[in-house]
Each structure stands twice: as structure tokens, then as C-alpha cells.
Amino acid sequence: MLAIVRHWFFNIYRLMEKTLVILKPGCISRGLIGEIISRFEKKGLRLVGIKMRQLDDTILNEHYAHLAEKPFFTRIKNGMMATPVIVCCWEGIDVIRVVHDMAGKTNGRDALPGTIRGDYSMSIQENIVHTSDSQETAIIEIKRFFADAELFDYQLPYLHSLYCSDELD
């Protein structure tokens, strides 16, 4: 019986999306790491990968390639190298949309209270977190920051109280 339940739980996790979150230098320097991670945990998301990393020109040129021609490109890169960052991979049903909504609008002055940026940011650049904005982007970004062996699969014992049964089928 235990083997059947374990098989069911792991099959459920295969149905869920993964997304990338970067806790930016502003989050690190302001001592908000635990607060931000706690918000995602309290929402019911499953943390499947986490590490601290000092970003450099090479990875930032790749990560922000879509902004390379913008006049603020160098400023963004310098800001992202100010301190190490925390990169996280979160998992859940519709996790990309959920995390993106939890982060709020990119400009912290425009983000609604209750969102991460709305509660902790007054800037368009120094806005506490980066989140993937689509399934395609999430896949690319997760591969950029995590090797397969750095992502973990484990059971949340309270999964049945996070989702109704038909969401898990």
C-alpha cells in the first residue's frame, strides 16, 4: 500500500510546473531572504532547488540578452553583481503564474500592497526578486542556473490539503 501511495505522490509532482526565482542583491542586503522564501512556502509551493551564487558578466549577458541594447543594461548587470544572489526553483500547479503574481509589477512603486515588490520595493530595478514569466522562459532559466542533480524530488505530506483531488488527477 505504501508503494502505491508513494507512486501516486511522485506522479502528481510530475504534473506540476517549475519556475525560477532569483532573490536579488536588494533582498540579500536588506536581510529579506527568509521573509521572501517564507511567502512562497506559506503559499504551498514546493522548493526543489536553492543555492547562493555570485553572478558574473557571462551569465548576466546570457540572462539579460533581451535587454543588451537598452541604455540601462550595464546598470542592471552592475546591480545584479552587487552581492551574491539566491536562486530558487519552486514547483506547484500553475506555479509560473502564481509566483509572477506574488512578485507583483516590475516597478515596485506600481506594485500592489500584498505583493513582494509592493511591500518591499520602491524601484523598477532594485525590485527584490526576478521571476520567470512563461513556461518557455522558466525552462531556459532553470537550466541556466541548475544542473538536473541540483533539483530534488520529495513528498510534501500535506499535499492533499493544498489542492483538491481533481486538480491532482
Digit-coded pLDDT (tens) for 94-146 = 999 999 999 999 999 999 999 999 999 999 999 999 999 999 999 999 999 99
At 5, the pLDDT band (50, 70, 90 cuts) reads: very low
63, 66, 100, 130: the active-site residue: 130
3-state helix, strand, coil in the chain (%, to 5): 50, 15, 35
Look up 100 and say whether it is catalytic: no
Instruction: Report the chain's terminal Cα–Cα distance, integer Å.
Output: 19
Q: Model's pTM, two decimal places? A: 0.90
97, containing H or E segment: helix 95-103
Fold of 2-167: Alpha-Beta Plaits (3.30.70)
How does pLDDT run across 40-82, given as a tens digit for each residue?
999 999 999 999 999 999 999 999 999 999 999 999 999 999 9
Domain ranges of the chain: 2-167
More confident residue, 3 or 163: 163
Residue-level pLDDT at 42? 97
pLDDT of 167: 83
Map grid coordinates 531556459 to a residue: 140
**For 11-30, what is the mean pLDDT?**
88
